[in-house]
Amino acid sequence: MPNLSRFCKQLSESLQDLQMITIRTAKPSDIPELVDLLKELFSIEADFDFDLEKQTCGLNLLLNSEKDCILVAERLSDNRILGMCTVQTLISTAEGGPVGLLEDLVVAADFRHQGMGAKLLAGAVNWAECLGFKRLQLLADKNNQAALRFYEKQGWESTQLVCLRKC
């Protein structure tokens, strides 16, 4: 029974921590913490390498864009950024209007599996809906099974499209 008691206490603390998290749009002073989160994300994505200068530049471009968004999960007790995601606006001829590309959804490793990713994703969906987006789409590393399960659990569906790129 002591293990159950410890588990319940940890669950209670996790839920309390989650209630102390706010989802908000990023500001320039968040960039150092966002860069750290991107470094963590890119360490598990096969297609990307971390580059401080490039990631800082990309974050600044997003912050200065009037049509794109960076959301952060901030712990209120110490204002630490524990997670982030971005949404970038595209125009879809198939949908006849704006759609969003969700990227960079990442939660710091020590704070995963506590609902923060779901809150960030819900915030991104809400932001897109408020702007009248026709759909959101995202790319995920095909080998990141945990992320794929997470997105499926959140109601995202696979498509028949394949991502290609030219560098």
The CATH number of the structural domain formed by 18-153 is: 3.40.630.30
37: pLDDT strictly greater than 70 = yes
Q: Which residues contact 100 (CB under 8 A, 6 or more apart)?
A: 87, 88, 89, 90, 124, 128, 133, 135, 136, 137
Q: What is the per-residue pLDDT for 11?
A: 47
Domain ranges (residues) in the chain: 18-153
* Three-state SS sequence of 5-64: HHHHHHHHHHHHHHHCEEEEECCHHHHHHHHHHHHHHHCCCCCCCCCHHHHHHHHHHHHH
- Region 139-164: what's the mean pLDDT? 92
Q: Check: pTM over 0.95? Answer yes or no.
A: no
How large a percentage of the chain has pLDDT more than 90? 76
- Please, which residues have CB within 8 angstroms of residue 154's CB and are 6 or more apart in sequence? 118, 121
More confident residue, 163 or 151: 151
- The angle formed by the CA atoms of residues 19, 100 and 85, to the nearest 5 degrees, is 35
Instruction: Provide mean pLDDT across the span 152-166.
Output: 92
How does pLDDT run across 73-116, given as a tens digit for each residue? 999 999 999 999 999 999 999 999 999 999 999 999 999 999 99
In 3D space, the residue among 72, 78, 84 whose CA is nearest the CA of residue 23 turns out to be 72
Q: Which amino acid is at 85?
A: C
Mean pLDDT lowest among 13-17, 61-65, 121-125:
13-17
**Res 8: pLDDT:** 46
- What pLDDT is stored for residue 165 in this prediction? 86
Among 45, 138, 129, smallest CA distance to 85 is for 138
Structure tokens at 39: 């470094």
pLDDT at 46: 79
Percent of the chain residues past pLDDT 70, beyond the cut: 89
pLDDT tens column, 1-31? 445 555 545 544 544 555 689 999 999 999 9
Mean pLDDT over residues 147-163, rounded?
A: 93
Q: What average pLDDT does the segment 37-48 reach?
A: 90
